[in-house]
Amino acid sequence: DVQLQASGGGLVQAGGSLRLSCAAFGVTFDDHAIGWFRQAPGKEREVVSCIPSSRSSTFYADSVKGRFTISSDNAKNTVYLQMNGLKPEDTAVYYCAADQYRELCYYPDYEHWGQGTLVTVSS
């Protein structure tokens, strides 16, 4: 079965950093769009950052620009989200996702989803 395993979440103070990882099993990232989405209590799931399957560009939500960085390691079949300067409003469950051969990576209709990892940022 296809599995995406997200990890790296935790409890940090405002201004701190975390690095989220998403390892893929049963699917290869190199021909897939990859994305990080998050969902806070009472809110809709929203895109945080993503990369289309062509790797031609990178998208960041306005709320995280300059603070978060998405990257991938095809050899390890893993995608990362480096989060710096964390704010309390970043508190959410973060999900990684993958979808084959897509360029519009910021819509949450991906084929494969990870289980999510909780990020909590205290004031």
pLDDT digits (tens, 9 = 90+) for 2-25: 899 999 999 999 999 999 999 999
Write out the E strands in 1-123. Answer: 3-7, 10-13, 18-25, 32-39, 46-51, 59-60, 68-73, 78-83, 92-100, 112-113, 117-122
SS3 (DSSP) at 88 = helix
Q: How far apart are the first and last CA of the chain?
A: 40
Q: What pLDDT is attached to residue 30?
A: 86
- pLDDT single digits (tens) 65-115: 999 999 989 889 999 999 999 999 999 999 999 999 899 999 999 999 999
